[in-house]
Structure 1
Amino acid sequence: MVSAPNTEELEQLLAQYRRQYEGIQETQRSLKEISCTVTSPRRTVSVTAKHGGLISDVSFPTSAYKRMAPKELAAAITETIEKAQSEAAGEAADLLAPSMPEGVDVHKLFRGEGDLQSLMPQSPRGSSTLDELLNRGK
């Protein structure tokens, strides 16, 4: 049987939870503000990507695209989109990295190369204070 936890310990756990929750809210706001613009080397196309890879703008800063073969223009657009999306993903990974467990490479996760199981501990107990409270009655 677990003994009644100390009110002060519960208040500390609640305060810790609130700080973490506020941090998550701030991170979420920052993720929504990500916007990366990449321009192709010959200034043929410019692409803006948001968090999650959403393309919010495609523009042609010069008339260079008019002199390109369709296949060449398509390749320039595709490459520029990929670079903008990659930059946006990198910014998102940088924002999330501090909140990840130690040893988790968020950049690899965003590229689909990471281990998602590394995000969760094998045991559901994460706080030493919580572990202590749960183990008191044993």
Structure 2
Amino acid sequence: MSNPYSEQLSRLMAEYRETQRAMVEAQQRLRSLSVTETAPRRVVSVTVGHGGRVEDIKFPTAAYKRMPPTELASALLDAIAAAQRRAVDEAAEVMAPHMPAGVDARALLSGDVEASSFEVPQSGVSDILRDLMSDPGK
């Protein structure tokens, strides 16, 4: 006869291992994330990676040479911002399946949500642990 707590713990460990595997895969996808945005008239092209870090800036045409510095700066900043927004969107797509119910991954990654406002979901794990701790002889 098997111990029901052993079976529950085995099931929980299997779930934990699967969750850990999925998170490693998500982390790898996040690390390889790369988004490129090009400004109108192909003045500048910007590539950002994970976390919105600027990885590359290119000037696909010579149009930038004829632009006033303030206009070029504005085009560059707009392209960076657009690429960063897309990077957040793509990261949110990767993370959404791993977020607790009701948590907007995009809002969280954008910094628009306070993490302290999340309620910790109640799960069967706490019941199992509570039972084990209340009667360690089982």
TM-score, with structure 1 as normaliser: 0.86
CA distance in 1, matches of 2:125, 2:75: 55
SS at match of 1:114: coil
Task: Spell out the pairing of 1:2-21 with structure 2 (5 A cutoff).
Answer: 6-21=5-20
Contact 2:48 2:83 in 1 (8 A): yes
CA distance in 2, matches of 1:72, 1:48: 20
Q: 2:128 aligns with which of 129, 132, 137?
A: 132
SS at match of 1:6: helix
CA distance in 1, matches of 2:81, 2:50: 13
CA distance in 2, matches of 1:44, 1:129: 55
Aligned residues: 132
Tell me whether 15-24 or 104-113 shows the greater mean CA deviation. Answer: 104-113
Task: Spell out the pairing of 1:37-52 with structure 2 (5 A cutoff).
Answer: 37-52=36-51
TM-score, with structure 2 as normaliser: 0.86
CA distance in 2, matches of 1:119, 1:24: 20
RMSD of equivalent CA atoms: 2.0
Partner residue, 1:81: 80
| Per-residue CA distance 1:92-133 (angstroms, 9 max, x = gap) | 0111111111111111122221131244517xxx43144134
